[in-house]
Structure 1
Amino acid sequence: MSIFRKCHKAATLNIAVPVSGEIIDIADVPDPVFAGKHMGPGFAVAPVSGDFTSPIDGIVMFVAPTLHAVGLRADNGAEILVHVGIDTVKLKGDGFTAHVNEGDTVRTGDLLLSVDLDSIRPRVPSMISPVVVTDAAEFTISERSKDPTSVLSVTTG
């Protein structure tokens, strides 16, 4: 079941890295829901910066009330979840600042969230941050190893 309203246009979408840090295979995320791809395929980042930016051009579909996650929808209909850290929902927004609201239009690189890594890191199991395609069954997903600015490619069909 999708968490976003459907609106598809045929296109290929490249998903950029939303934060500076080491790119991690989704299977290595220390959370069974993400590692098992139950939320969808993707990748993760071990952040070294607290500035999380949009990995796509699209619309902000939601900002979690606890500010730990942002859902985006691209023009081709792909639904992307940027989730900051593991078990960060329990912080109830402490250490997070949202720079976008539901319905905002964003471009790749626009600031979504600011996160105080020094404050949050000791209070959660991991700051590894998954980026997943939540409606992947409707798309062809492939890695983009030749393009240093993007990690995944999402194509309709």
Structure 2
Amino acid sequence: MFSFFWRTVSVYAPVDGDIRRLEEVSDEVFSSKMAGDGVAILPTSGIFRSPINGVITGIFPTKHAFSVKGRGVEILVHIGIDTVELRGRGFKLLKSKGVTVRAGDVIVEVDLDYLKSTGKDIITPIIVTDKPIKNAKFGRVNSGDFIFKV
């Protein structure tokens, strides 16, 4: 009803890596877009940053996922597949829920080698929970590069 107040939000890569289509993620919750629309990044770095300006609205107790909300858009960054099973091992949280962040602020550091050694897939879905994305970029990306609009 009041969607005319909603503005386009640019979303930036939270990590260095290779952007893939969400359909390539092995977890059906993400690949079928049940959790929302977005892309996935195969990370080459363990430094994960905020993809937008906003407030951290959620951090899983196991530190493997966080969400940031800004200008009416909520972005979920889910680091790896089945990484919840690691119970926080390999993740170092640097920010907490409720903190205001700017795009590019470091939120969590991840030991990607440890995750790989446990057999976990490190592909990282970047999800918009309730709106479609547009102008998605694919291929090599550096943290802070534009990846899509909402």
Deviations 1:52-104 (A, max 9, x none): 001100100011100000011112x1111000000000000001011111110
Match of 2:104 among 73, 96, 109: 109
For structure 1, the residue ranges without an aligned partner over 5 or more in a row are: 1-8
Match of 2:133 in 1: 141
Paired residues for 1:16-55 under 5 Å = 16-55=12-51
2:59 maps to 63
Displacement of 1:144 in angstroms is: 4.3
The CA deviation at 1:141 is 2.4
Is 1:119 equivalent to 2:114 in the alignment? yes
Q: Using the alignment, how far apart are the partners of 1:41 and 1:24 within structure 2?
A: 13
1:14 equivalent in structure 2: 10
Q: CA deviation at 1:122?
A: 2.0
Contact 1:86/1:124 (<8 A) preserved: no
Within 5 Å, give how 1:84-99 maps onto structure 2: 84-99=79-94
Give the deviation of 1:124 after TM superposition.
3.6
Q: Compute the RMSD of aligned alpha carbons.
A: 1.8
Residue ranges of structure 2 left out of the alignment (5+ in a row) = none
Q: TM-score, normalised by structure 2?
A: 0.89
Structure 2 SS opposite 1:46: strand
2:62 maps to a residue whose letter is: T
Give the alignment's TM-score, normalised by structure 1.
Answer: 0.85
Please list the CA deviations of residues 27-47 of structure 1 after superposition, one character each: whole Å capped at 9, or x if unmatched: 101111100000000001101
Count of aligned positions: 142
